[in-house]
Amino acid sequence: MAKGEQGLGGREDQLVIFQLSEQTYGIDIASVYEIIRMETITMVPRTPDFVEGVINLRGRIIPVIDLSKRFNLACSDRTNSSRIIIVDVGGNTIGMIVDAVSEVLRVPLDSIEPPPPMVHGIDAAYLRGIAILDSRLIILLNLEKVLFEREKNELQELTLETA
Amino acid sequence: MFSDEEISVFFDELEEKIQVLNENILILEREGESQDALQEIFRAAHTIKGSSAVMGYEKMVSLTHDMENLFDQMRKGLLPVSGQLVDTLFMALDTLQMLRDEIVGKDVSVDIEQVAARLKQCREAGPATPAPDAPADAGLAEPGPASAGFNGALEAVDEEVIHAAALKGYQAYGVTVELDSGCQMKSVRAFLVFETLQQLGEVIKSEPAAEDIQEGRFGKSFQAVLLTKEDPDRVRNLLMTVSEVVRADLSQIVLTNGMEAPKQAEPGAQAEKPERPAGGEHAGTKTVQTVRVDVQRLDTLMNLVGELVIDRTRLNRFAEIFAGRFGAGSGELVDTLNEISSHLGQVTGDLHEHIMKARMLPVAQVFSRFPRMVRDLAQKMNKEINFIVEGHETELDRNVIEIIGDPLIHLIRNAVDHGIEGPEERAGLGKPGAGTLKLRASYMENHIIITVQDDGRGLDPGRLRARAVEKGLLDREAAGLMPDREAMDLIFMPGFSTAAAVSDLSGRGVGMDIVRNQIENINGTVDISSALGVGTTFTIKLPLTLAIVRALMVELGAEQFAFPLANVVETITVQSGAVKKVKHNEVIVVRGHILPLVRLSEIFERAGGGEKKRLFVVVLGVGEKKIGVIVDRLLGEMEIVIKSLGDYLGKVPCLSGATILGDGQVALIIDVRSLVREIGIEETVYAAG
């Protein structure tokens, strides 16, 4: 599908492309463990708002977060195309709910530009860059930051509150 | 070069054999020349020599060779067991252990010359000529004169069993089985004989004891008492089908006035003189055969079971859809599908349980190193100690086993060091010169209880109080008011150590508080009871496994929660009218006591099932503190596998983890301790306001 962009010896990234609140996002395929359909999520009380709960992934308990809540974006309804992307970041396996997963794309590194300070309400700190491909705009996420930056603080606050 | 796997097998075996040597040398020290022990020792040393030669560890070969020579002399009765000999043997064992460390690359260089010299010295100390009547190979002692039936003493218990069985139509037979004298695999043959017997009936006793027989510790024949309805000829024929069985005789056992009077079923039945009396237990029912399995492999199996569970759930769901789509016309197919699905569910459940059990190990793993430790300590302290270990076979999860080692070492050291008095002091008190230290493991419900009991001087509550005051842990007034029972618990306080002088044995900066911590970390408890001058007993209560608990499942809204049963006192139902308000808190009165209530829905900020007339209350207890938790519904007890919520969520208040239910759904496990603590805080806040 993205064959045209290949070649010329340029280095490229392989991205998993997904939709969230009508925007297109991409994350590095290396950090994606698998993609599953929505399933029953057990809510875990007293966790940050964007933590949706936990699921059973073949015997493992995996926390699941709602990515749109994470970015304070308008929450979209769960549909048949909603997916949970299971990612492996820094030794943690975490599920992220997205509206849809569309494809895997190869993106030449030179088509990736540094992010502007704010993109669709998301702070640039969470972004790796913006890729423009066939006049499509793909927002590349920095998963490490997305998953860990604020949670740590919030989770810590929680522990402090109850300590 | 050898593969890592081969090397690790070698080390496992080495460790095991060193342990066997340790145990049996201790037996020698205690009981003098025991041929059984010597056989074991000789065999173990021989195995180490053989395998280390294969692996090419020269020093080890040379050392075990020297040891083997010595053992051989002892076995032939040329060398009497002496204190000096035992010490030398232990020294050699320690050297062996060090050689092991050297091989695995710990930074030690081991010199075996010194030990070798001492071993040689011992060997030369023996008489030059062989004792005239020493048997060539004591393990194969000649059978005694022929007699009939079963020669081992039948105890009253056995006779009762035989009597009871007779009423149900079972006959008791004394079975004598003789193996070919050239039999190489006695233990295997014996095992097959036992298997055969057990298919035909019940083996209630054997001579020698079943374990001994199955490990090949018998002459060429052994005996058993079989309860069966089968014809004796058929039994005999079946036994003869086991290879290398040259003779199988049965004679009926008839009890007359509680006396055993074997009636010959066949003339000329031969029997062997028992080598040693069998224990009172129903031997022969346990057959232990083992394989070494990597724990990693068990974990993988466990995960695979998890996947099976999911697929089973999917199958269930599919069956529903199938039934919906094809309607009544497919009735039979749907039934079949459901049947398969439910059977799959059962099998998966069993599989799960068994893999869990496979992770259990007998406590002997830890216990076995203690006899040697106690011996060394006692020798150093010039004390005589009779160390008794009971219940090695009790099984625990391997994680728990790894953790309890240290606390136990500490307790045992303490008992030897501070608890048990020296021989003179004991004599003065009218106690036997040798102190008794008893280590015992047993099951109690779904816990294991380990006790460390000594008959030493006991704890003096007065001294404990004084000490606590002196250390500034307690003020004088509080100490005076403290009951003896609580004063005992003072030893668990950080910074408390009763030994007047810190000896080099115990008190190396590790206090009893650490012991308690280590045990509590694995959800265990430790209690102490002591009587001045009579002795001290520490009782450790541990969960069988860290991974599984029995839990009470409850429902709140659409979700399930698990309360570990250890903290559930009872469940009650109350009318909503019985709930009273004290300040802001809801309470009920249960049997005259006020019980604070909380609603699970409030704690977890969850919509509950709304107001109802009847309320279900789970009464939880942590220590003396009790609270009642109102839930929507009680679902019953089940065994759950504890899984962590993971690092990402970290420690979630009032939750200790999650578990996966039979249908693949996740249920959260409530951390009762933190819940009770939290409620405690709220109460005080309210009380203050």
Domain of B85: which CATH number?
1.20.120.160
Per-residue pLDDT for A79 more than 70?
yes
Mean pLDDT, residues B371-376 = 88
Q: Which two tokens stand for residue B448?
A: 């294991």
Using the beta-carbon criterion (under 8 Å), do A58 and B306 form an inter-chain contact? yes
CA distance B655 to A61: 14
| Concatenated DSSP letters of A87-151 | EEETTEEEEEEESEEEEEEEEEGGGEEPPPSEETTEEGGGEEEEEEETTEEEEEE-HHHHHHHHH
Letter string b/e over residues B452-485, b meaning 16 or more CB atoms within 10 A of that residue's CB? bbbbbbbbbbeebbebbbeeeebeeeebeebeee
Using the beta-carbon criterion (under 8 Å), do B310 and A56 form an inter-chain contact? yes
Residues B332 and B226 reside in one and the same domain = no
Residues B114 and B185 reside in one and the same domain = no
Give the rounded percent of residues in chain A with a pLDDT score beyond 90: 36
* Residue B4 burial by Cβ neighbours in a 10 Å radius (0-12, 13-18, 19+): exposed
Q: What is the per-residue pLDDT for B144? A: 37
Q: Determine whether B46 is an active site residue.
A: yes
Q: What is the per-residue pLDDT for B310? A: 64
Name the amino acid, one letter, at B313. Answer: T
Kindly report the backbone phi and psi dihedral angles of residue B408, in degrees, each rounded to the nearest multiple of 5, phi listed first: -65, -45
Q: What is the per-residue pLDDT for A101? A: 94
Confidence tier at B328 by pLDDT (50, 70, 90): low
Residues B354 and B370 reside in one and the same domain = no
**A63 neighbourhood in chain B, CB within 8 Å:** 645-646, 648-649
Residues B99 and B150 reside in one and the same domain = no
Q: What is the per-residue pLDDT for B330? A: 66
Q: Which two tokens stand for residue B84?
A: 């000096």
Residues B536 and B666 reside in one and the same domain = no
Q: What is the per-residue pLDDT for B62? A: 83
CA distance B208 to B277: 7
Mean pLDDT, residues A75-79 = 81
Q: What is the ipTM of this complex?
A: 0.82
Q: What is the per-residue pLDDT for B629? A: 93
Q: Determine whether B390 is an active site residue.
A: no
The answer to whether B416 and B374 are in contact (CB under 8 A) is yes
**B655 neighbourhood in chain A, CB within 8 Å:** 44-46
* Residue B467 forms part of a structural domain: no
B128: helix, strand or coil: coil
| B413 CB neighbour count, 10 Å cutoff | 20
Q: How far is CA B62 from the centre of its chain?
A: 36
CA distance B607 to B587: 21
Residues B377 and B515 reside in one and the same domain = yes
Q: Which two tokens stand for residue A48?
A: 């940050």
Q: Which two tokens stand for residue B424?
A: 């003179």
* Residue B61 forms part of a structural domain: yes
Using the beta-carbon criterion (under 8 Å), do A59 and B655 form an inter-chain contact? no
Q: What is the CATH number of the domain that holds B386?
A: 3.30.565.10
Q: Which two tokens stand for residue B212?
A: 């001994």
The answer to whether A128 and A145 are in contact (CB under 8 A) is no
Q: What is the per-residue pLDDT for B501? A: 42
CA distance B239 to B222: 13
Q: Which residue has the higher pLDDT, B218 or B364?
A: B364
**B298 neighbourhood in chain A, CB within 8 Å:** none
Residues 660-679 of chain B whose Cβ lies under 8 A from any Cβ of chain A: 660, 664-668, 678
Q: Which of A66-70, B104-108, B419-423 has the lowest mean pLDDT?
A: B104-108
Residues B176 and B103 reside in one and the same domain = no
Cβ neighbors of A91 (< 8 A, separation 6 or more) are B647
Q: Which domain holds residue B591?
A: 548-688
* Residue B187 forms part of a structural domain: yes
The B245-256 sheet, strands edge to edge: B201-207, B221-228, B171-179, B245-256, B259-263
Residues B326 and B368 reside in one and the same domain = no
Q: How many CA atoms lie within 13 A of B198 on its CB side?
A: 16
- The DSSP bridge partners found for residue A137 are A132
CA distance A59 to B17: 38
The answer to whether the pTM exceeds 0.90 is no
Mean pLDDT, residues B18-28 = 84
CA distances from B234 to A82, B97, B149, B241, B270 (A): 69, 52, 18, 11, 19
Per-residue pLDDT for B68 more than 50?
yes
Confidence tier at B324 by pLDDT (50, 70, 90): confident
Using the beta-carbon criterion (under 8 Å), do A54 and B650 form an inter-chain contact? no
Q: Determine whether B414 is an active site residue.
A: yes
Q: What is the per-residue pLDDT for B639? A: 73
Mean pLDDT, residues B455-464 = 86
Give the rounded percent of residues in chain A with a pLDDT score beyond 70: 84
* Residue B503 burial by Cβ neighbours in a 10 Å radius (0-12, 13-18, 19+): middle
> In this structure, are strands B385-390 and B435-444 parallel, antiparallel, or unpaired?
parallel
Kindly report the backbone phi and psi dihedral angles of residue B56, in degrees, each rounded to the nearest multiple of 5, phi listed first: 85, 30
B190: helix, strand or coil: helix
Strands (E), B576-624: 580-582, 585-590, 593-599, 614-622
Q: Which of A148-152, A154-158, B301-305, B551-555 has the lowest mean pLDDT?
A: A154-158
Residues B109 and B182 reside in one and the same domain = no
**B649 neighbourhood in chain A, CB within 8 Å:** 44, 47, 51, 54, 63, 155
* Sign of the torsion angle spanned by Cα atoms B136, B138, B140, B145: positive
Q: Which of B17-26, B117-126, B365-374, B388-397 has the lowest mean pLDDT?
A: B117-126
Per-residue pLDDT for B21 more than 70?
yes
Using the beta-carbon criterion (under 8 Å), do A56 and B306 form an inter-chain contact? yes
Q: For residue B305, what is the nearest residue in chain A, using CA coordinates?
A: A59
Q: What is the per-residue pLDDT for B292? A: 75
Looking at B23, B29, B40, B68, which residue is catalytic? B68
Task: Please check whether residue B607 touches A, CB under 8 A.
Answer: no
Looking at B16, B46, B399, B678, which residue is catalytic? B46
Residues B17 and B59 reside in one and the same domain = yes
Domain end: B359, B390, B407, which one?
Answer: B359
CA distances from B199 to A19, B159, B185, B233, B243 (A): 66, 22, 22, 15, 17
Using the beta-carbon criterion (under 8 Å), do B646 and A147 form an inter-chain contact? no
- Looking at CA atoms only, how far is residue B522 from chain A in angstroms? 21
Name the amino acid, one letter, at B449. Answer: I
Name the amino acid, one letter, at A83. Answer: R
* Residue B290 forms part of a structural domain: no
Kindly report the backbone phi and psi dihedral angles of residue A87, in degrees, each rounded to the nearest multiple of 5, phi listed first: -115, 155
The answer to whether B419 and B535 are in contact (CB under 8 A) is yes
Name the amino acid, one letter, at B75. Answer: R
Mean pLDDT, residues B654-678 = 85
Q: What pLDDT digit, counting tens, does each position of B411-439 carry?
A: 898 888 888 888 888 888 888 888 899 99
Q: For residue A160, what is the nearest residue in chain B, using CA coordinates?
A: B653
Number of helical (H) and strand (E) elements in chain B, helices listed first: 21, 23
Mean pLDDT, residues A15-43 = 92
* Residue B653 forms part of a structural domain: yes
Mean pLDDT, residues B461-471 = 84
| B626 CB neighbour count, 10 Å cutoff | 18
The count of domains in chain B is 5
Longest pairwise C-alpha distance within chain B = 95
Q: What is the per-residue pLDDT for B301? A: 83
Residues B325 and B203 reside in one and the same domain = no
Q: What is the CATH number of the domain that holds B206?
A: 3.30.70.1110
Per-residue pLDDT for B628 more than 90?
yes
Q: What pLDDT digit, counting tens, does each position of B256-295 carry?
A: 544 443 444 444 334 443 444 444 444 444 455 677 777 7
The answer to whether B525 and B540 are in contact (CB under 8 A) is yes
Per-residue pLDDT for A152 more than 80?
no
Task: Please check whether residue B604 touches A, CB under 8 A.
Answer: yes
Interface test with B, best of A58, A151, A156 (most B CBs within 10 A): A58
CA distance B569 to B552: 11
Give the rounded percent of residues in chain B with a pLDDT score beyond 70: 81
Residues B406 and B535 reside in one and the same domain = yes
Cβ neighbors of B143 (< 8 A, separation 6 or more) are B219, B220, B221, B270, B272, B273
* Residue B248 forms part of a structural domain: yes
Q: Which of A109-118, B321-330, B480-489, B522-531 has the lowest mean pLDDT?
A: B321-330
- The DSSP bridge partners found for residue B11 are none
Element of type H or E holding B416: none
The answer to whether A18 and A112 are in contact (CB under 8 A) is no
* Residue B158 forms part of a structural domain: yes
Confidence tier at B593 by pLDDT (50, 70, 90): confident
Q: What is the per-residue pLDDT for B505? A: 43
Q: What is the CATH number of the domain that holds B622?
A: 2.40.50.180
The B593-599 sheet, strands edge to edge: B568-575, B614-622, B625-631, B593-599, B585-590, B580-582
Using the beta-carbon criterion (under 8 Å), do B303 and A155 form an inter-chain contact? no
User: Minimal CA–CA distance to B87: which of B367, B376, B373?
Assistant: B376
The answer to whether A141 and A128 are in contact (CB under 8 A) is yes
Using the beta-carbon criterion (under 8 Å), do B648 and A43 form an inter-chain contact? no
- Looking at CA atoms only, how far is residue A46 from chain B in angstroms? 7
pLDDT, chain B, mean: 77
CATH 1.10.357.10 fits A3-162, yes or no: no
